Structure 1
Amino acid sequence: MDFVTLAGLLLAFSSVFLANWLGGGEIILLLNLPSAIIVIVGSVGATLMQSSIQDALRAFYLAKWSLFPPTYDFSFARTFLIDLAQKARRTSLFSLESDIANFSNPFAARALQMAIDGTDPELLADRLHDEANRIHDKRMASVRFLESIGGYAPTLGIMGSVLGLIQAMANLDSPSALGHGIAVAFVSTLYGQGFANLVMFPIAKKLSSYVDQELLYHQLIIDGVHGIATGKHPQRLDIELNSYE
């Protein structure tokens, strides 16, 4: 689990509650279920209107990376690919069949299997690059879905405030109730800004970095497998792959 994400969320929300408390505000005024519903549910609903249910499912699945991020061990992948290149030069490319299971990454396993099956090295590289780009594009579409939720949230927060003010105006004959109603009404704006800038945008930014890291890892695999398939010398391959971090 990525405790940095949890710590960041805790710190961000604590700063809001602390600032409210230091300013003499009541904590209870910041807790408003209707405001949360209109901001969160409304933002998700608006984003769904511009997307599909498949986009939503992929986005919410990808969102778990913010707490349980994928790991890409570039050092292990480089070392393993060099070992495979040395083994292929000593014996043959077909001897690498038993090593496919050692790749826990499905993309890497497919790439090595294609090389062992005798796929033309240049065709192999082209197909793998296309697949890596398609994976990256799908991931980024999910990131944009989450960013759209954050983009709609402030507007939905303003709408919630307007609704709250309408309800507050109904209590013009009661000044005390009017003041409390106006205070609660503006909580929706706070929720909209907070949900967007303290939750959705930071998470989308973090996921974007993971998606870019995944693409870089796939490029490392492609270059390594392509080098093995073309019989490139292991030392030369090591130099080329050493630039990947």
Structure 2
Amino acid sequence: MDPMTILGVLVALGVVVGGHYLDGGLVHQLVNLPAALIVFGGTFAAAAVQSPKEEFGRAIRLLGWAFGGQRYDFREGINELVAWCGMVRRDGILTLEKELERTRDPLVMNGLQMLVDGKSSEAIRNSLGTELVTLEQNDLRGAKVIESMGGYAPTLGIIGAVLGLIHVMGNLKSPDELGSGIALAFVATVYGVGIANLLLIPIANKIKGLILTRYNYQEMMLEGMASIAQGQNPHVVRQRLQGYLR
């Protein structure tokens, strides 16, 4: 789990609830099941309507990545590539077969397999380059689905508030209950604006950053494996990849 993301969500929730409490409100006033159903259910439904099945499913998986997905260590990746280069120069290309079992990144695994199969550096760049760009574009579309949820949520909050007011106006015979009823109706607006600006839009932007980081990492690994296919010296490989370090 990513502690910063978890901490950010908890702080955001605490700021809203704490501010409401310090202003004299009660915590239970922010709990409204019908409003939650309208805002959360409506937001996901709207996103599902606008998106193809594959993109919507990808967006849901990307939500999990934001809270605890794989992270990429560029320095460790360079050290790994340099080690592979030394192994190949010392023991031959087939020594990389045992590295296939240790690699979790599918693109890197494909690159290692191509190296073992004796593919040229140009073939590796062409094949993996296409795979890299396709993966990036697909995931960016998934991130845009999450971003669109941030646009729908405030509108659904307004719809929830209006429906609540309709219910209140239908009970004008009980004027003592109007104040609390109106306050309860606007909880839907809090839900909509809150999850959009404190959760969905920030998470969408975080995922875009993670996608870019992964792209740069995999591009670095691709370049390193192509250099191995060219028979480059480990020292040259390290120098070539230093530009990817941050």
TM range (shorter): over 0.9
- One-letter code of the match for 1:7? L
Cα distance in structure 2, aligned partners of 1:168 and 1:95: 74
Instruction: Within 5 Å, give how 1:158-197 maps onto structure 2.
Output: 158-197=158-197
Q: Which residue is equivalent to 1:155?
A: 155
The normalised TM-score by structure 1 is 0.94
Q: How far apart are residue 100 of structure 1 and its match?
A: 2.5
Q: How far apart are residue 160 of structure 1 and its match?
A: 0.7
Q: Unmatched 5+ residue regions in structure 1?
A: none
Cα distance in structure 1, aligned partners of 2:98 and 2:115: 13
Q: How far apart are residue 4 of structure 1 and its match?
A: 1.8
Q: How far apart are residue 174 of structure 1 and its match?
A: 2.1
Cα distance in structure 2, aligned partners of 1:238 and 1:3: 32
Q: Which residue is equivalent to 2:119?
A: 119
Q: How far apart are residue 229 of structure 1 and its match?
A: 0.5
| 1:29-62 deviation per Cα after TM superposition (whole angstroms, max 9, x unaligned) | 2110111111110011011111122222221112
Contact 1:161/1:188 (<8 A) preserved: yes
Q: Which residue is equivalent to 1:220?
A: 220
Number of paired residues? Answer: 245
Q: Which residue is equivalent to 2:41?
A: 41
Cα distance in structure 2, aligned partners of 1:181 and 1:99: 64
Q: Unmatched 5+ residue regions in structure 2?
A: none
Cα distance in structure 2, aligned partners of 1:131 and 1:105: 13
The normalised TM-score by structure 2 is 0.94
Task: Give runs of ≥4 in structure 1 deviating > 6 Å.
Answer: none
Indicate the percent of aligned positions where both proteins have the same amino acid. 37
Contact 1:161/1:185 (<8 A) preserved: yes
- One-letter code of the match for 1:158? I
Cα distance in structure 2, aligned partners of 1:99 and 1:195: 43
Cα distance in structure 2, aligned partners of 1:231 and 1:33: 64
Contact 1:69/1:210 (<8 A) preserved: no
- One-letter code of the match for 1:16? V
Q: Which residue is equivalent to 1:144?
A: 144
Q: Which residue is equivalent to 2:13?
A: 13
Q: Which residue is equivalent to 2:78?
A: 78
Q: How far apart are residue 180 of structure 1 and its match?
A: 1.4
